[in-house]
Structures are given as C-alpha cells and as structure tokens.
Amino acid sequence: MRALVVGNAEGLDPGFVGERLRRRGYAFTECVREDPDDWPGLHGIELVLTLGSEWNVYRPETARLVEAEAALVRQVVARDVPLLAICFGAQVLAHALGGTVSRSPAPEIGWFDFPITGSPIATGPWMEWHDDVFTAPEGFAVLASTDAGPQLIRGGRCLATQFHPEATETMIRGWLAGGGAEQYRRHGGDPDALVAATRANVERSQPNAEALVDWFLDDVASR
C-alpha cells in the first residue's frame, strides 16, 4: 500500500506514526513542502500523512506553498482518500476546508494530557509544540481541546491532531537544537528538563501513537 507523506525538507521523519504505518503495510512517497511542483499525483495513493512545520499558515512569505498544500488537501478530501494531519498539517487542513488559523496567546510546548471523547485513544501523554491554534471546519467533530483550542478533530476519512503523536526523543532533541531551546526558554521552560521528560514519556507515548494509528486505519479511514 502506498502513502504520501508531506513535510518540510528538514522535517520528513514521521517518527512513531510512520513506524506503525509501515508495520501496517504502508510504504511512503515523500513530498517536500518546498517543492510542490515535484509532488506526484494521487493515482494509486491510499493514504496521505501531513506533518508539522515551523511555518505558519498565514505568513505571506510561504503563502504560495501553503496554498499548494491546501489544494492537495481539498483534492484528497474530494477523492475520499484517508488523511492524517499533524500539527501544521492540521492547521493547513483547517485553512483548506473553511476553518481558521491564528496566533495563540501563548504557545503550548511540552507533554500534556487532556480529555478525549469519541475515541479509544489515550488522554496522554502527548507532545505539544505549536504557536498557532485553529478552528474546526464545518462537518468536523472536535474530540479533544485544551484552553488554547482544538487538539483532535475528525471529519469524513480525515483525522487531525494539534499534538505530535509521532514525536521521538531524537526529534525533540533536534527541535531544541534547531532554535527551539531559545523559544522554550523565552516561555519559562528548561530544555534539559524537557529532554528528561521526553525520555520518560515516550515509553507511554509510543504505544499511544500506535493505538492512534490503528484507530485511524481501522475506524476513521475504513468508514
């Protein structure tokens, strides 16, 4: 089975989510966000996975690239191809289908638990790392929220998470090394403490991510 994974050139690792999808029989074709002209069509594609990004949906400097991804999302939905959208991917989905995306009053960075309805997946721990919030498009159910906004939405054969079920310790270390440590400190966080919390939490978040993928494939995508 063939899946498209959409991410930035430096952020195409689907982590725990990708590992589970591969074990469920999927092979990936990678689509680099910066090069939409090189993306293949959807012929033969049975699933699309859109990943997080340092970008913002509303920035003019990336508007053309965001609109290319939004057009892909609309095509995926029109063709009824299952879509799993993570963080920035979820924001693009909201933007593409009539929801809104805006700056959050405060970023959510770290490990969070929150109530989830209409799903068998765990309430946490889930990794959050985002500056923006979105509203769910019409026809989507909000299954989980924090004070900042929706965290899990479902509509048709689409599932979108504001959190990062794919996050591994290697990823978090990379985000911190890539400028995230300064951002985290600005908001009162200790990068070393975040790494330690990550090392402890991935023992639970990995099986949680696997359960999320299984639920997506067996329930959302198979409807």
**Digitized pLDDT (tens) for each residue of the chain, 223 residues in all:** 999 999 999 999 999 999 999 999 999 999 999 999 999 999 999 999 999 999 999 999 999 999 999 999 999 999 999 999 999 999 999 999 999 999 998 899 999 999 999 999 999 999 999 999 999 999 999 999 999 999 999 999 999 999 999 999 999 999 999 889 998 998 889 999 999 999 999 999 999 999 999 999 999 999 7
Residue 192 lies in a domain: no
Q: Which of 108, 128, 166, 210 is catalytic?
A: 166
Model pLDDT, residue 37 = 97
**Domain annotation covers residue 117:** yes
Catalytic residue, candidates 108, 128, 130, 164: 164
User: Which among 87, 130, 158, 210 is annotated as catalytic?
Assistant: 87
d(CA 203, CA 209): 11
Domain residues for 84? 2-168+206-220
- Does residue 147 belong to any structural domain of this protein? yes
Q: How many domains does the chain have?
A: 1
Confidence at residue 178, expressed as pLDDT on a 0 to 100 scale: 87
Give yes or no: 43 in active site: no
The answer as to whether 176 is a domain residue is no
Is 179 inside a domain boundary?
Answer: no
The predicted structure's pLDDT at residue 43:
96
166 is catalytic: yes
For residue 195, being part of any structural domain is answered with no
User: Residue 28 maps to which CATH number?
Assistant: 3.40.50.880
Is 19 one of the annotated active-site residues of the chain? no
- Specify if 187 maps to a domain: no
Provide DSSP, 80-135: T--EEEETHHHHHHHHHTT--EEEEEEEEEEEE-----SS-S----EEEEEEEEE-
